[in-house]
Structure 1
Amino acid sequence: MNRDAIVGCILGTAIGDAIGLPYEGVSPERSRRLLGPPDRHRFVFGRGMISDDTEHTCMVAQSLIESDGDVELFTKRFASRLRWWVIALPAGVGKATARAGLKLWLGASPEKAGVYSAGNGPAMRAALFGATMDDRAKMLEFIRASTRLTHTDRKAEFGAIAVALAAQHARQNPTVDAERWLAEVADACGEAASELIELLRRAIHSVKVGELTTDFARSIDLKDSVSGYTYHTVPVAVHAWLSHSKNLRAAIRSTIECGGDADTTAAIVGGIVGCGVGESGLPDDWLSGIKELPRSVDWMQCLGEALAETMKGHPPKRTPSINPITALTRNLFFLSIVLCHGFRRLAPPY
């Protein structure tokens, strides 16, 4: 298994998440006036931090290591991590994920914890499945288990499948064949995903005629921002990937410039492109600018390496873990920075 692709996927997700985080929930016009271009870290004193997008990707990686190919065990381990993650006061957690975590605490089984939602939570953690698995049937089992733990609307699952197959395609092919990838998505999802397939087909056509990702977003009625609805998030992220499959910096920037749920869309495209270019293709300044505890860049790199060894049949004796007290302290600090950004948005320029 390609260690560089797995580490690149995790760290690419983190970079997109961290660069996009200050822009979350802001329209393209306002973000340009308020923050400037998404060309560097702007979260706190010129440094970046990660949010739930990267944290979920890391929890998926930890659970894959411990499950060693057993989808039922993966579900149990991921559900256990999700329960504890929810009570550590993560800022900006999605409603569906929060409700699923609460249901787990109230005794619901992992199979019954999900709520009916087509949010982009499953898609934000899906690229790692494509980075780690070649067996498509097996990969789909894990994607469904990951999705239904929090979201039961099949649209959420279809979006996650599209992202995972994009990451797998980026890893396996030096040159992207968009039509072949789309055929794989259509085959995996079936007729029920016809709406998503049409949106992805429009994204491919838009790239072929040279449209910018911002222009494509406007063409599918996302003029002011990209929402957390997976049929909004995934087509925009796919357009950015197809436009800049070997340039993570350009792919992330073009996604953030669409506005809205910028950290998640950028995290998704970061994971896909990162899987294709590997760790060596990540921008050094953006990577070194992430200042995090307990999920530091070095820790995430070690996690990726441990997962790569597991996929080769050599799981580590101990899964990389985090200190829950450190995580809670960090989350309280993170929340204070988020609140500062919120108050800053109340002031001009408008």
Structure 2
Amino acid sequence: MSFTLFPGTRLALALESLAGLSVGDALGAQYFVPANRPADLIEARTPEAPWPWTDDTEQACCLVATLSEGDFDRDGFAEMLARVYDPYRGYGAGAVTMLREIRDGLPWPIAAAAAFDGQGSCGNGAAMRAAPLGAWHADSLAHAAAQAVRAAEVTHAHPEGIAGGVAVAVAAAVAAAARLHGYKPEPGQLLRAVAAHTPSSVVRDAVVEAASITGGVAEAAYRLGNGARATAQDTVAFALWVAARYLHDYPAAVAACVVSGGDVDTTAAIAGGVVTAYTGLDGIPPSWLSAREPLPSWLAAAGGE
């Protein structure tokens, strides 16, 4: 890419992506409540406000609060995650254990490497928080990918977990760059750009497959997964397929994630963060943004809002 962003522009892009991520997360989480019918969202009927956000948003807020010029500050990110995390926001047991260990003084590389009997986490956690980082680095896909590795490694030592974070960050960088350049990439074009910068992995192979899917949402979810296993492998490619297909239409992207079931808050967070990197805040229905629980006060204190 042939442009350079000023720090204020980077932060504005990251915050807009965070808004889309957090609304998708909060609205998607409402559909774990049995009384809320996914089909209603297609008819523009949403659950009653407020919509609390989950660990997806909390981690993304920590990431945005850590963003600055230069290499991503992994130590600062780990410290913030461990200090502010709320286990009742939907964190998995493994993440709670890891963050508690980091808070108690265990270095994050050791805590991350020890997860899942030494395999490291291949969960979708690094991916669900990564879109704002990609928007921040809209002027360089290669830099977005490299910094996404650093951000993912803090909690995900497994190559697939890292690849998931890279894929989402690159997708958001492509989306934000397209917005700044005034063009809309075709779905396959966006997904092929993501694959070109994602490390060799099951995640990358799934993104390549996603680029070839021209059918509907049901086919994409069937072939790629819908996040039901909460792994990067069965979450990221589908969420990015949705984002690429509905890059101009935030409500349609979130609705596609909701009706597909699975890890709805996370797929909607990923797709929402990428789509809003392209549309800006204007893409989010104002009523949805106001229904989302306010972001944490410490984000503003850290200079992130």
Q: TM-score, normalised on structure 1?
A: 0.73
Is it true that 1:113 corresponds to 2:96 in the alignment? no
Counterpart for residue 221 of structure 2: 217
Shift of 1:171: 1.0
Match of 1:151 among 130, 151, 156: 156
Amino acid in the other structure paired with 2:78: A
- Asked if 1:265 is matched to 2:267, the reply is yes
Deviation at 1:139, TM superposition (A): 2.7
1:155-204 deviation line (CA, Å, top 9, x unaligned): 011111111111111111221144444443333334x32x3233223322
Deviation at 1:137, TM superposition (A): 4.1
Q: What's the counterpart of residue 76 of structure 1?
A: 75
Give, in angstroms, the shift of residue 82 of structure 1.
Answer: 1.1
Query: How far did 1:95 drift?
Result: 3.1
Aligned counterpart, 1:205: 212
TM superposition shift of 1:221: 6.0
Tell me, yes or no, if the aligned pair for 1:19 and 1:40 is still in contact at 8 Å. no
Q: Is the 8 A contact 2:191 2:241 kept in 1?
A: no
Asked if 1 retains the 8 angstrom alpha-carbon contact of 2:191 and 2:244, the reply is no
Contact 1:13 1:266 in 2 (8 A): yes
CA shift in 2, pair 1:221/1:283, >3 Å: closer
**What is residue 122 of structure 1 aligned with on the other side?**
126
Instruction: State the alpha-carbon separation in 2 of the partners of residues 183 and 204 from structure 1.
Output: 6
Deviation at 1:236, TM superposition (A): 1.4
Q: Which residue of 1 aligns with 2:62?
A: 59
Secondary structure of 1:266's aligned partner: helix
Q: How far is 1:227 from its partner?
A: 2.9
1:267 deviates by 0.6
Gaps of 5+ in 1: 304-317, 323-350
Q: Which one-letter code corresponds to 2:195 in the other structure?
A: A
Aligned 8 A contact 1:17 1:54 in 2: yes
Distance in 2 (CA, whole Å) between partners of 1:319 and 1:204 is 38
Q: Aligned pair in 2 of structure 1 residues 291, 92: CA closer, same or farther (>3 Å)?
A: closer
Match of 2:303 in 1: 320
Question: Contact between 2:60 and 2:129, CA under 8 Å: does it hold in 1?
Answer: yes
Counterparts of 1:244 and 1:321, CA distance in 2:
27
Distance 1:188 1:82, change over 3 A: same
Equivalent residues of 1:13, 1:54 under 8 A apart: yes
Secondary structure at the aligned position of 2:292 is classed as coil
Deviation at 1:120, TM superposition (A): 0.4
Q: CA deviation at 1:136?
A: 3.7
* Paired AA for residue 81 in structure 2: L
Alignment correspondent of 1:21: 29
Matches within 5 A, 1:234-249: 234-249=236-251
Q: Mark the CA change 1:141 to 1:50 in structure 2 (over 3 Å): closer, same or farther.
A: same
Distance in 2, matches of 1:289 and 1:221, equals 29
Does 2:168 correspond to 1:168?
no
How far is 1:85 from its partner? 2.3
Q: 1:244 to 1:178 in 2, by over 3 A?
A: closer
Report if the CA contact (8 A) 1:217-1:226 is conserved.
no
Structure 2 distance, partners of 1:84, 1:289, is 27
Change (3 A) 1:278 1:188: same
CA distance in 1, matches of 2:295, 2:302: 17
- Select which of 136, 140, 164 maps to 1:132: 136
Give 1:102 deviation, angstroms: 2.2
- TM-score of the pair, normalised by structure 2: 0.83
Aligned-partner Cα distance in 2 for 1:16–1:186: 24
1:119-157 per-position Cα deviation (integer Å, ceiling 9, x unaligned): 000001111111001234433332122211111111011
CA contact (8 A) 1:24 1:260 kept: no
Q: What's the RMSD between the two structures over aligned residues?
A: 2.6
* Identity of matched residues, %: 27
Higher relative contact order (CA 8 A, sep 6+): 1
How many residue pairs get aligned? The number is 284
Q: Which residue of 2 aligns with 1:186?
A: 195
Q: Tell me, yes or no, if the aligned pair for 1:12 and 1:273 is still in contact at 8 Å.
A: yes
The Cα shift of 1:235 comes to 1.4
Distance 1:200 1:135, change over 3 A: closer
Q: CA deviation at 1:279?
A: 1.3
Corresponding residue for residue 232 of structure 2: 230
